[in-house]
Amino acid sequence: MAFLSKPAMEQFSLQFSPFPLIDLSKPDAQSQLVKACEEVGFFKVINHGVPFEFMAELESEAIKFFSLPLSEKLKVGPPDPFGYGNKNIGCNGDLGWVEYLLLTTDADSIYHKFASIFGDPAADRFHCVLKDYLTAVKRMACRILEMVAEGLEIEPRDALSKLLMDEQSDSVFRVNHYPGRAEGGNVIGFGEHTDPQIISVLRSNNTTGLEIWLKEKEWISIPPDQYSFFINVGDSLQVMTNGRFKSVRHRVVANSPRSRISIIYFGGPPLSEKIAPLPSLMEGEDSLYNEFTWFEYKKSVYNSKLADNRLGLFEKIAAS
């Protein structure tokens, strides 16, 4: 597998990025993060502290799994909610040119599931690689949330990150595989949607496909970068900032003869956590949303289609 050198890729990214690109090692990273969350709800981070070795090893394990015969992969499914899925996304009729693994972030429970199907050696390897990756990515996500909290003058500094660090955090992990299409043309790999959690951290191989919907009412293709991470503001964070941060609508188009692998960590709060605008951000403003628990919103999302405006049910304007 051929890779561009990391310095060359980062220099290219800095010069040609059509969306916010943030160097987490720079002094102005904090203000840039807040600005990106307010204006787009999506950005790319470099100098993020996650070893590329962790990223490449997990991608290699994903490729091994998706290269298995379908009969073997089906032993890990169906996703109820966790497991292997193929083309069917959720339970409300959404389809895509995709197969995927949807997993809990508890690497130990994943190990037991895989060991019972594929044996201890393969499961042990996947467990170790996944644990290293999730630990590093979760640490980065919390770092970003703490920088954002400081930028917004939210006290305490861990008001957001503690929800991901909580032992009851309802975070999930997804690996998507979009098979290459020799015939070309655009088909929907994963339909347009917003992410319901607090923050999403995505890393992919060097195959195109990801698109975001900008305020100018157009889809923008995001150039892939295997060395970097792409961050989405989730619906829950939009509510917690009373709409100041934007949960970005995005999709994946399967338009390449090369397969695309994307790996996403969805940082979510505990199921019982009440989701509402943070009092320190209100400054006399009225809340745009009715308070709800993460469990209530997750259940609502589960019963909706991908493209639905899922926050609409919880907006005070809609409810009045």
Q: Phi then psi for 188, rounded to 5 degrees? A: -75, 120
Q: Give the separation between CA 55 and CA 137, rounded to whole angstroms.
A: 10
Query: 242: number of CA atoms within 13 Å, CB side?
Result: 13
- Yes or no: say if 222 and 230 are a contact pair by the CB < 8 Å rule: yes
Determine the Cα angle at 118 with ends 115 and 120, to 5°: 45
Q: Give the separation between CA 6 and CA 10, rounded to whole angstroms.
A: 6
Q: Is the dihedral of CA 311, 314, 317, 318 positive or negative?
A: positive
DSSP assignment of 23-86, as one string?
ETTSTTHHHHHHHHHHHTSEEEEES-S--HHHHHHHHHHHHHHHTS-HHHHGGG---SSSEEEE
- Yes or no: say if 10 and 46 are a contact pair by the CB < 8 Å rule: yes
Taking residue 317's Cβ as centre, other Cβ atoms within 10 Å add up to 8
Q: Phi then psi for 173, rounded to 5 degrees? A: -135, 130
DSSP code at position 285: P
Q: Give the separation between CA 306 and CA 53, rounded to whole angstroms.
A: 33
Q: Among all residues, which ones are annotated catalytic? A: 260
Containing H/E element for 61? Answer: helix 52-66
Neighbouring-strand partners of residue 94? 89
